[in-house]
Copies of this chain bind each other. A is one copy, B any other.
Amino acid sequence: MATIDDVARASGVSKGTVSSVFSKKRPISQEVTARVLAAAKALNYKPNYWARSLANKSTRIIGLNLRADKVKFSQFHLSLLNGVLGACYARGYRLLVNALPSSFQDQVEHMATDPVDGEILLDPETRDPRVAERLSGEVPIVLIGRPSPEYENRVSYVDNDNVAMTQQITRYLLGLGHRHFLFLNAPKFRTVADDRSRGFLSAIREAGLPPSSYHLKYKPDPDNPSFDFGYEMTLATLTERPDITAVIADTDTMALGVYKAAEALGLAIPDKLSVFAFSDDSVFSPEFTPPLTGVRLHAERLGREAAELLLELIDGGARTLKRTIVPTDMVIRSSCAEPILNLGGNKS
């Protein structure tokens, strides 16, 4: 590949001039510019991205960090990615998806600074080691999701208000008359699971219901497909506790597992069992039988806001903390209704 020196030689100017022609950071006469560009074209020259990054101390790349060992890209991530990409695209940034396991990065020969100007961290966990590591460096970060409390005042993040949202949802179900719940939550190590639990429990307490009125389960193994977890856990729990009339599921896929279990148990949705999901696929959710009631998390907007916030931090250089709350919208379809109690009705 031709270098800047080749072009300088070919067009009879210094390399500094060639640099200025390409970076446009200093004015160069029309005539010289033309000559340099002609020589560059003839040699098929393009500035070397890494040399440029080294000298500029900037790459125009932002990172998206996810723990591939724990999480696979899901529908939610997909929308989120579309939002992030849109923001990058609009501002001329590239996106680096960093899914390397920490076991790899801990090896001495692979240790290195991240090749990005800033990073978005996905799916934060309680006491997430990635956050601690980034805080000691100088690469700005934005989380999507709430950081654990020890970091809450030290990093910027974008999130839904999961506590209030879950509280609202639970109130909605309480208002319909439900008194016994199965809550199939996200994996316990994720902060979002904790927020949802808090919102749920606060609504339960507010209604004066005892702990026996709910079963709160966390998805244990991230590898375990959501569908299977929804199916098996519903089957097992409802067999044991037939007084449960409402299931709150983590995702629409998990909700589908709940639907299957309800079918297996001979429970009609929503008459005998109400189902709610923390997601809303505008194409598929309406096609469930019956159409699934859930909540729109606006994943694409979460992604876009996070990317824009990060780019702002990068440009401003400002070490200001910001947090953006993206609103959620309940989408009520037909999978939740007043429970029709059996004859041997049970009141708590």
Measured CB to CB, the residues of A under 8 A from B are 1, 21-24, 37, 44, 46-54, 59, 61, 68, 72-75, 77-78, 81-82, 85-86, 88-89, 92, 94-101, 104, 108-115, 136-138, 227, 253, 256, 283-284, 287-289
| Known contacts A50-B54, A54-B51, A54-B54; A110/B92 CB under 8 A | yes
A277 to chain B, nearest CB (A): 13
A264 to nearest B CB, angstroms?
A: 15
Could you say which residues of chain B place their CB within 8 Å of the CB of A61? Answer: 96, 115
A35 vs B284: C-alpha distance when bound (angstroms):
59
A-B contact pairs, 30 of them (CB 8 A): A1-B113, A1-B138, A22-B108, A23-B109, A24-B108, A44-B137, A46-B113, A47-B111, A47-B112, A47-B113, A48-B54, A48-B112, A50-B50, A50-B59, A52-B112, A53-B115, A54-B54, A61-B96, A61-B115, A68-B85, A68-B89, A72-B82, A77-B78, A89-B101, A92-B100, A92-B104, A95-B99, A96-B96, A256-B287, A287-B287
CB proximity of A191 to chain B, nearest CB, Å: 23
Copies of this chain: 2
Q: Are A73 and B82 in contact (CB under 8 A)?
A: yes
Chain B: minimal CB distance from A188 (Å) = 24
Task: Knowing A100-B92, A100-B94, A136-B44 are in contact, say whether A85-B73 is a contact too (CB < 8 A).
Answer: yes
Residues of B contacting A288 in the complex (Cβ-Cβ under 8 angstroms): 287
A95: chain B residues at CB < 8 Å are: 96-97, 99
Minimum distance in angstroms from A235 CB to a CB of chain B: 18
Output the least CB separation between A71 and chain B (Å): 11
B112 touches A49 (CB 8 A): yes
Residues of B within 8 A of A68 (CB): 85-86, 89
A39 to chain B, nearest CB (A): 14
Q: How many Å from the CB of A227 to the closest CB on chain B?
A: 6
Q: Which residues of B contact A88 (CB under 8 A)?
A: 99
Instruction: Tell me the minimal C-beta distance from A204 to chain B in angstroms.
Output: 31
* Most chain B CB neighbours (cut-off 10 Å) among A96, A114, A253: A96
A108 CA / B34 CA spacing, docked (Å): 12
Given A47-B113, A48-B112: 14 more A-B contacts, CB < 8 Å = A22-B108, A46-B112, A48-B113, A49-B115, A61-B115, A68-B85, A72-B82, A77-B78, A92-B100, A94-B97, A96-B96, A227-B283, A284-B284, A287-B287
